[in-house]
Structure 1
Amino acid sequence: MELHLFLYLAALFASAYAVKVLTSAIKVPEVTGYVLLGVILGISVIRLLNEEILTALSPLSTVALGIIAFLIGSELRFDVIRRLGMSILSIVVLECLAAFGVVFAGVYLIIGADLNTSLLLAAVASATAPAATVAVIRQYKAKGTLTSTILAVVGIDDAVALIIYVFVEGFVAANLTGATLSGGHMLGKAVLSLLMAGGIGLVAGFLYVAVLRRVKNNDWITLLLAAAIFGLLGISEILHVSELLSIMVFGMIVANASPVLSKKSEGILGSLTPIFLAAFFILGGAHLNLGLISRIGLLGLVYFAARALGKIGGATLGAIIGRAPKKIRGLIGLSLLPQVGVALALALAISKQFTNPRFGPAGHDLATVIINVLLFTTIITEIIGPLLTRFALGKAGEIHSHDQDTK
Structure 2
Amino acid sequence: MAWGSEFLGQAGPLLTLAVVILGLPSVTGQILAGVLMGHAGLGLFDANALDGLEPLTHLALGLIAVTVGAHLNVQRLRNAGKRLVYLLLAESIVVPLAVFAALYFLPGSSPQLALLLATIAIATAPATIVAVVKETRSKGVFVKTLVAAVALNNMACIVLFEVARSAGSSLGGPSLPGLGEAAGGALGELVLAAGIGAGVALAMDQFARLAVRPERVTTGAVLALVFTTGLATSLGVSPLLACLVLGIVQTNITRVRSHLVDSVFADFEPTILAIFFTLAGLHLDTLHLQQAGFMAFAYFLARAAGKWLAANSAMRLAGATEGVRRNLGPALIPQAGVAVGLVIVIQNDPAYAHLAGLLSAVVLSVVTVNEILGPLLTRMALGRVGEVGKDRLRLMDFLQEENIVTEFRAESKEDAILELSELLIASHGLHAVDRENFLASILDREKQASTCLGEGLSVPHGILPRGFPMAGVMALSRQGLAFDTPDGKPVHCMVLLGTSPEERDRHLQVLATLARTVGLGPDFQDQLFNATSPAHASELLHGDEFEDFNYFLEASDEEPSQS
Task: Give your verdict on TM over 0.5.
Answer: yes
Q: How does 1:346-385 map to 2 (within 5 A)?
A: 346-353=342-349, 356=350, 359=351, 363-385=352-374
* CA–CA separation in structure 1 for the residues paired with 2:171 and 2:133: 42
Q: 1:395 aligns with which of 384, 388, 393?
A: 384
Secondary structure of the residue that 1:46 maps to in structure 2?
Answer: coil
Change in Cα spacing, 1:398 to 1:370, as seen in structure 2 (3 Å) is same
Question: Match of 2:537?
Answer: none
* CA–CA separation in structure 1 for the residues paired with 2:259 and 2:160: 33
Structure ranking higher in helix proportion: 1
Q: How does 1:251-262 map to 2 (within 5 A)?
A: 251-260=247-256, 262=258
Amino acid at match of 2:7: A
Change in Cα spacing, 1:192 to 1:322, as seen in structure 2 (3 Å) is farther
Question: Match of 2:277?
Answer: 281
* CA–CA separation in structure 2 for the residues paired with 1:31 and 1:385: 10
Q: Deviations over 1:12-60 (max 9, x none)?
A: 2221221232122122101111111111111122111221111111111
Give, in angstroms, the shift of residue 209 of structure 1.
1.2
Give, in angstroms, the shift of residue 105 of structure 1.
0.8
Q: Is the 8 A contact 1:32 1:383 kept in 2?
A: yes
Percent identity between the aligned chains?
Answer: 29
- Which has the larger displacement, 74-83 or 208-217? 208-217
Q: Deviations over 1:171-229 (max 9, x none)?
A: 22122223576554354334322221221211211221122125452101111101110
Gaps of 5+ in 2: 392-543, 545-563
Amino acid at match of 1:113: S
The answer to whether 1:230 aligns with 2:219 is no
Amino acid at match of 1:329: R
* CA–CA separation in structure 1 for the residues paired with 2:95 and 2:261: 34
The answer to whether 1:188 aligns with 2:184 is yes
Question: Match of 2:74?
Answer: 78
Change in Cα spacing, 1:365 to 1:186, as seen in structure 2 (3 Å) is closer
The answer to whether 1:327 aligns with 2:319 is no
* CA–CA separation in structure 2 for the residues paired with 1:271 and 1:89: 33
Structure ranking higher in strand proportion: 2
Q: Deviations over 1:92-111 (max 9, x none)?
A: 22113222111111111355
* CA–CA separation in structure 2 for the residues paired with 1:333 and 1:72: 18
Change in Cα spacing, 1:174 to 1:12, as seen in structure 2 (3 Å) is same
* CA–CA separation in structure 2 for the residues paired with 1:61 and 1:87: 32
What is the Cα-based RMSD across aligned positions, in Å? 2.1
* CA–CA separation in structure 2 for the residues paired with 1:175 and 1:157: 26
The answer to whether 1:109 aligns with 2:98 is no
Q: Is the 8 A contact 1:87 1:319 kept in 2?
A: yes
Question: Match of 2:209?
Answer: 213
Question: Match of 1:173?
Answer: 169
Question: Match of 2:87?
Answer: 91
Amino acid at match of 1:240: G
Q: Is the 8 A contact 1:162 1:190 kept in 2?
A: no
Amino acid at match of 2:382: L
Q: Is the 8 A contact 2:40 2:284 kept in 1?
A: yes
Structure 1 runs (4+) deviating above 6 angstroms are none
Give, in angstroms, the shift of residue 335 of structure 1.
1.7
Larger RCO (alpha carbons 8 Å, 6+ apart) = 1
Gaps of 5+ in 1: none
Q: Is the 8 A contact 1:43 1:49 kept in 2?
A: yes
Change in Cα spacing, 1:224 to 1:307, as seen in structure 2 (3 Å) is same
* CA–CA separation in structure 2 for the residues paired with 1:157 and 1:323: 20
Give, in angstroms, the shift of residue 303 of structure 1.
0.9
The answer to whether 1:33 aligns with 2:46 is no
Secondary structure of the residue that 1:189 maps to in structure 2?
Answer: helix
* CA–CA separation in structure 1 for the residues paired with 2:227 and 2:319: 40
Change in Cα spacing, 1:81 to 1:35, as seen in structure 2 (3 Å) is same
Q: Deviations over 1:142-168 (max 9, x none)?
A: 111111111111111122112211221
Q: Is the 8 A contact 2:17 2:29 kept in 1?
A: no
Question: Match of 2:407?
Answer: none
Question: Match of 2:477?
Answer: none
Question: Match of 1:162?
Answer: 158
Q: Is the 8 A contact 1:136 1:389 kept in 2?
A: yes
* CA–CA separation in structure 2 for the residues paired with 1:279 and 1:73: 21
The answer to whether 1:303 aligns with 2:292 is no
Q: Is the 8 A contact 1:72 1:152 kept in 2?
A: yes
Q: Deviations over 1:305-352 (max 9, x none)?
A: 111111121122122222333222111111212221111111110111
Question: Match of 2:128?
Answer: 132
Number of paired residues? 392
The answer to whether 1:23 aligns with 2:12 is no
Structure showing greater Rg: 2
* CA–CA separation in structure 2 for the residues paired with 1:7 and 1:232: 26
Q: 2:236 aligns with which of 222, 233, 240?
A: 240
Question: Match of 2:96?
Answer: 100
Q: Is the 8 A contact 1:96 1:311 kept in 2?
A: no
Give, in angstroms, the shift of residue 265 of structure 1.
4.7
Change in Cα spacing, 1:262 to 1:23, as seen in structure 2 (3 Å) is same
Change in Cα spacing, 1:79 to 1:218, as seen in structure 2 (3 Å) is same
Q: Is the 8 A contact 2:86 2:314 kept in 1?
A: yes
TM-score for both structures, normalised by structure 1: 0.91
Q: How does 1:262-281 map to 2 (within 5 A)?
A: 262-263=258-259, 265-281=261-277
Q: Is the 8 A contact 2:207 2:217 kept in 1?
A: no
Q: Is the 8 A contact 1:44 1:289 kept in 2?
A: yes
Q: Is the 8 A contact 2:98 2:303 kept in 1?
A: yes
Q: Is the 8 A contact 2:92 2:122 kept in 1?
A: yes
* CA–CA separation in structure 2 for the residues paired with 1:33 and 1:113: 34
Q: Is the 8 A contact 1:70 1:250 kept in 2?
A: yes
Q: 2:309 aligns with which of 304, 308, 313?
A: 313
Q: Is the 8 A contact 1:236 1:243 kept in 2?
A: yes
Q: Deviations over 1:88-147 (max 9, x none)?
A: 021022113222111111111355622222112112112222111111011111111111
Change in Cα spacing, 1:90 to 1:181, as seen in structure 2 (3 Å) is farther
Change in Cα spacing, 1:351 to 1:211, as seen in structure 2 (3 Å) is same
Amino acid at match of 2:362: V
